[in-house]
Structure 1
């Protein structure tokens, strides 16, 4: 596909203006289009995400560094240029937050929880030690190699992201047997 007309020809046009791609789809339902890629292939033909392919066909230039091409409608397979936007990554994040596009999606919630567990600085045993210790926050911070603000959060019970050493519900199960 070298032009928008070729892409449009492979789409079903709906009453509400969506161009639904009839060709190959990616695992997540977005179009997979063979088109010029000015960002990674200097205009050479390459398989890429449909929204990005449409943007490249329209603009015939690379996506600027720090920018992201995304669809603004709810149809993953939509290739309508009016439904595609290219903005700074920070603006994309602000748009996601403002629209709530991914809010409540279980797979994203679970992924964010997993990220939080990986970022946790202390495991469950260390948190219990911090919460029951008579030592000062400064002493514990030096001993455990974390900041005093992190320790304060753990002592107040604010930081609930913990590494699950034996599985997600291991603490609940162990607590039930005691």
Structure 2
């Protein structure tokens, strides 16, 4: 019996992992760099190199930018900071707007959270404009020049909440 000679493998016919394995079997010395390169090729296969939590926060913040009217920018900035720090975002990575809906609901339905949120917005406004902000205290009438009152911020957030719910 004459053994048939093995066909010469076509290096282009094999994926990179098979080529690496073939080189190892043929006696080529495998280096650590080769092993890392082989594993690194598959590490992000089918995945974005951007972490999923960052993508969720970015989607929410993009929605806020597009739908929240805020000429001074302080309200948007504080809301986006809250989104970055809120653990509910990581609970809804596949549907980040659900997390935004929950965040907005908690702010607009709990007066203590709303007052703290508005205080932070006023503080941010003062930082942006280098001016002393008007801090409205619970139960007091707002200053006539205060752009961010408890009522005005709540109204804007409720409007944004409705837009989120229409999108879901």
TM-score (norm 1): 0.21
Structure (1 or 2) with the larger CA radius of gyration: 2
Higher-RCO chain (CA-CA 8 Å, sequence separation at least 6): 2
Higher helix share goes to which structure?
Answer: 2
